[in-house]
């Protein structure tokens, strides 16, 4: 409504608000001496906000502002030498036009009406009701309507322009001291954004920036930031990918000096950024996380397995044509763990420019451990599966035979891993080449396919459920 927008602007610019009318001790931004954020990957952060406070001896009220709208006290609170907290709470609503009018029920305000000619007319009125269309008492009459704006003489006690923390405290003596407010806020998250440049020598260049996203409803200027990597248990959400063109070039040039320090923290890892970071509400910021490091990388072609019911009887009447998946098998040789996050994979073309070859989600990878990412489907290689026989040997036993024809339209020979997964007990009765048993339920055949040529794989399997 127009009058609500107008009164919000009026109260925000009021000299009374700028001067402050509370008898409480209010600690604003200019009293902050230190700000530390410990941000988890799942959208929660622990905030340590240190302020300088000048207190009177004895009991008094202390207000700290501003706070993010998603702040929660939970296990947090106020600490400081020589003070005790009697009660505390968060008022996260800030100024609300409806609440401001309701707080003046029974009190006088100045309302501004706009006449038919466009001129404005002011009059004093008593607020009778603030629900829906407001109702005022004017010169013994009851008036209902939407004024152009409402002017208030004072800001009611307990109503604040921004989200605040309020505590009733007792101080042992008067004077200046440091106090620290600790709380949890939601809406702050981070994740690494990886760039992997594939090279032709079985290597890849891995680098990363950390993407910090603030949707908490508050700003955090010049904060010391610590990033918690892992999956913390919560007893009681798609982050944007880095821009593909210029961002990976900046990542390749990331300074080793700018990389965060790391320490083990229980089952997790804690990264401390080298420089303070300002996080504005509604924005994402990227900071260097992992300098460019070479790791081993092998490209594999894999044909996904048939569904389990394909081994229990006749399966379809048409041939099953597929393109194998291109899998990148890597090993984390960076010397440090890699937190989970999105990864973009690039290949360098003949002109030296990078081309986006795919993206995938990287899991948590311990130092020295292997991991796999997908580049998508292989363009030049196709596979055609044909069921050549199906027999019911007994009530619980089936035998099924398959032929897999692999065609390679590319200029180089390739090796394709044909994978199958079986339910229950299984036995390969016949095969055109030997299989490898991956585990109790999986088998694989590694088939060499010549350039511009074909290869055929045949196998018969007995399955008992």
Residue 239 pLDDT > 90? no
Residue 78 DSSP label: E
Q: Are 459 and 399 in contact (CB under 8 A)?
A: no
Among 18-27, 125-134, 301-310, 410-419, which stretch is predicted with the lowest mean pLDDT? 18-27
Give the pLDDT score at 270. Answer: 94
Give the pLDDT score at 97. Answer: 78
Give the pLDDT score at 7. Answer: 40
Residue 15 pLDDT > 60? no
Angle at 433 between CA 432 and CA 439, to 5 degrees: 120
Hey, is 280 helix, strand or coil?
coil
Two structure tokens written together for 100: 């401001």
At 76-119, the pLDDT tens digits run: 899 999 999 999 999 887 677 788 888 888 999 999 998 888 89
Classify the phi-psi angles of 202: left when phi > 0, otherwise alpha if psi is within -120 to 50, otherwise beta.
left
| Angstrom distance (rounded) from CA 341 to CA 339 | 6
Residue 229 pLDDT > 60? yes
Could you count the other beta carbons within 10 Å of the beta carbon of residue 297? 21
Mean pLDDT of 194-200: 92
What is the sign of the dihedral through the CA atoms of 423, 424, 428 and 433?
A: positive
Give the pLDDT score at 99. Answer: 80
Two structure tokens written together for 205: 């260049």
Two structure tokens written together for 277: 């970071």
Give the pLDDT score at 175. Answer: 94
| Angstrom distance (rounded) from CA 218 to CA 405 | 60
Could you count the other beta carbons within 10 Å of the beta carbon of residue 281? 15
Q: Point out which residues pair with 377 in neighbouring strands.
A: 325
Mean pLDDT of 316-339: 87
Residue 233 pLDDT > 80? no
pLDDT class for 266, splitting at 50, 70, 90? confident
Name the CA radius of gyration of the chain, rounded: 33
Give the pLDDT score at 234. Answer: 57
| Angstrom distance (rounded) from CA 310 to CA 425 | 15
| Angstrom distance (rounded) from CA 304 to CA 310 | 13
Residue 428 pLDDT > 50? yes
| Angstrom distance (rounded) from CA 35 to CA 45 | 12
Residue 69 pLDDT > 50? yes
- Select from 444, 450, 438 the least CA-distant residue to 418: 444
Mean pLDDT of 177-206: 94
Give the pLDDT score at 159. Answer: 73
At 335-355, the pLDDT tens digits run: 999 999 999 999 988 787 888
Strand ranges in 92-245 using DSSP code E only, listed in sequence order: 108-114, 120-129, 135-138, 141-144, 149-151, 164-171, 175-186, 188-198, 203-214, 220-229
pTM for this one?
A: 0.75
Q: What is the mean pLDDT of the chain?
A: 86
């Amino acid at each position: 409504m127009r009058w609500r927008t107008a009164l919000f602007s009026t109260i925000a610019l009021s000299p009374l608000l700028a001067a402050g009318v509370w008898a409480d001790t209010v600690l604003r931004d200019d009293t902050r001496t230190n700000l530390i954020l410990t941000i988890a990957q799942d959208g929660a952060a622990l905030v340590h906000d240190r302020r300088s406070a000048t207190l009177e001896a004895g009991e008094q009220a202390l207000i700290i502002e501003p706070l993010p709208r998603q702040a929660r006290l939970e296990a947090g609170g106020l600490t400081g030498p020589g003070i005790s907290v009697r009660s505390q709470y968060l008022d996260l609503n800030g100024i609300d036009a409806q609440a401001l009018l309701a707080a003046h029920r029974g009190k006088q305000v100045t309302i501004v009406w706009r006449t038919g000619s466009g001129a404005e007319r002011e009059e004093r009125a008593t607020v009778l009701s603030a629900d829906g269309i407001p109702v005022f008492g004017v010169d013994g009459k009851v008036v209902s309507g939407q004024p152009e704006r409402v002017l208030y003489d004072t800001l009611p006690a307990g109503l604040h322009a921004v989200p605040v923390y309020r505590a009733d405290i007792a101080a042992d003596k008067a004077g200046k001291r440091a106090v620290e407010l600790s709380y949890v806020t939601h809406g702050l998250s981070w994740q690494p954004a990886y760039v992997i440049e594939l090279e032709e020598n079985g290597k890849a260049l891995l680098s990363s920036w950390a993407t910090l996203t603030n949707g908490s409803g508050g700003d955090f200027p010049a904060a010391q930031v610590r990033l918690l990597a892992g999956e913390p248990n919560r007893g009681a959400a798609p982050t944007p990918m880095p821009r593909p063109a210029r961002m990976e070039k900046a990542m390749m040039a990331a300074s080793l000096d700018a990389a965060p320090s790391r320490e083990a923290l229980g089952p997790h890892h804690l990264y401390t950024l080298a420089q303070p970071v300002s996080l504005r509400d509604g924005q994402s910021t990227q900071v260097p996380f992992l300098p460019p490091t070479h790791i081993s990388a092998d490209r594999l072609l894999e044909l996904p397995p048939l569904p389990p019911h394909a081994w229990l009887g006749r399966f379809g009447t048409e041939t099953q044509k597929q393109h194998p998946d291109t899998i990148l098998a890597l090993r984390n040789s960076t010397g440090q763990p890699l937190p989970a996050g999105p990864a973009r994979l690039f290949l360098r073309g003949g002109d030296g420019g990078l081309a986006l070859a795919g993206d995938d989600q990287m899991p948590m990878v311990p130092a020295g451990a292997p991991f796999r990412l997908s580049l998508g489907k292989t363009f030049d290689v196709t596979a055609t599966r044909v069921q050549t026989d199906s027999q019911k040997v007994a009530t619980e036993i089936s035998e099924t035979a398959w032929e897999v024809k692999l065609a390679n339209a590319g200029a180089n020979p390739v090796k394709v891993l044909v994978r199958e997964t079986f339910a229950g007990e299984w036995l390969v009765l016949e095969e055109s080449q030997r299989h490898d048993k991956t585990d109790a339920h999986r088998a694989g055949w590694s088939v060499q396919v010549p350039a511009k040529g074909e290869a055929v794989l045949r196998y018969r399997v007995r399955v008992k459920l």
